[in-house]
Amino acid sequence: MQSSNLNLILTTLKDSKQNTTVFDESWSQGRSAFGGIAAAFTVTAMQKLLRSNNHSLRSLMVSFIAPVPPGKVKIETKTQRTGKNVVQMTGDVVCDGSVCLQAMAAFGKPREALRVNSTKKLNPTPRERGIAFQEHAKRIPSFLRFFEGAWVDGGYPFAGKLSRELKMWVRHKTNLKDFPLEKLITICDIPPPVILSYFDKPPVPSSSLTWSLEFLVPPEDITTEWFYLEFIVEGAKDGYTQQSGKIYDEKGRLCALSRQCMVYFS
C-alpha cells in the first residue's frame, strides 16, 4: 500500500528488515520522487548500521542517477570504513532492480576543537510578508503540499525576471520529531533551480544531477520547526546551473550548507 504520510513512510523503512518502503505519486515532481525524500531514505537505512548513537551526520553527497518512480523502493547500504571518530557509509536507492540514486555519508563523533561560528547577522524578511506556497500553487510541484512556507524578497519560480537569489521560509506540516536527520535533509532540498525565476510560466523541466550537504549543527540538536533558506545561483551555462545555499533555524543559527549541480530544459 502506497503512502503520502512522510512519518509513516520513514517508519516503515526504519522497521523493515529488507530496507524497503513505499510512497505515492504525491511525492513526485515529474517522473521522479522529490530528491529530498529519496536522499532521506538512504540516511534512514544508514543509521541502522551505526553501532553507537554518538555519531552525528556531518556530510551527505548524493548523485541522482535515474528517476525514482512512486511505489516500492529498496535501500542497499554498506559501511565503507569505521574509524576512531568517523564512520563513512554508502546507500543506494534501488527501483525494479536498478540503482536510481547513490549517496555517501559521513557520521562523526564530537571532539574538543577550535570553534568558529557564522558572523553574519541574520535579519530575514518575516514570512508573513512573503508569498505563501498556496498562493503560488499552480507554479510549484505537488509535493510542496506537505510543507508550509513562503517566498520572500522576490526570486520565486516563474517570476518572469531573473534573480540570482532565492529566499524562503519553510516547515513540515507533518511531525517528524523521531526523524530529525530526514526532517532537515528534506527541508534543504526544497529550493528549485534559482534561475527558474527568469521564466514567466511553467513548465520548465529541471532536476538535480548532484547534491552535497554539510551540517554545522547536528540535526538532532535542532528543535525549531521553521527554517529560513538563502540560495544563490553561482553560474549557468549549456543547460546546467550551479547553486549554493545556507539553511538557518528559526533562532538564526546556520545549520547546513548546500551545493547542487542542476539541469534544466527550456
Where do the structural domains in the chain lie, given as residue ranges? Answer: 6-110+130-264
Nearest-angstrom CA–CA distance, 134 and 125 = 19
| Residue pLDDT, tens place only, 72-106 | 999 999 999 999 999 999 999 999 999 999 999 99
Separation CA 230–CA 248 (nearest Å): 8
3-state secondary structure of 184: helix
What is d(CA 229, CA 242) in angstroms, rounded to the nearest whole number? 16
Averaged confidence pLDDT in the chain = 93
Q: Please give the full DSSP string across 58-99, using - where no structure is assigned.
A: EEEEEEE-S---SEEEEEEEEEEEE-SSEEEEEEEEEETTEE
Asked if residue 115 has pLDDT above 80, the reply is: no
**52 three-state secondary structure:** coil
What angle, rounded to 10 degrees, do the helices at 180-188 and 6-15 form? 130
Once rounded to an integer, what is the mean pLDDT over residues 252-265?
Answer: 95
141 vs 59 pLDDT, higher one: 59
31 — pLDDT class (breaks 50, 70, 90): confident
Question: What DSSP state is assigned to residue 44?
Answer: H
Cis before 203? omega within 30: yes
Where does the pLDDT of residue 234 fall: very low under 50, low under 70, confident under 90, or very high at 90 and above? very high
pLDDT-based confidence at residue 266 (cuts at 50, 70, 90): confident
pLDDT digits over 203-231, tens only? 888 889 999 999 999 999 999 999 999 99
| Stated pTM of the model | 0.94
CA-to-CA dists, residue 75 to 39, 88, 138, angstroms: 10, 16, 33
Query: Is the separation of the CB atoms in 21 and 48 below 8 Å?
Result: no
Per-residue pLDDT tens digits for 147-186: 999 999 988 888 889 899 999 999 999 999 999 999 999 9
The Cα 40–Cα 183 span in angstroms is 8
Whether residue 70 is predicted with pLDDT greater than 80 in this model: the reply is: yes
DSSP-assigned letters across all residues of 101-163: EEEEEEEE---S-----------PPPGGGSEEGGGGGGGS-GGGGGEEEEEESS--TT-SS--
Residue 262's SS3 state is strand
- In this predicted structure, the answer to whether residue 120 has a pLDDT above a threshold of 80 is no
CATH of domain 6-110+130-264: 2.40.160.210
Would you place residue 138 in the very low, low, confident or very high pLDDT band (cuts 50, 70, 90)? low
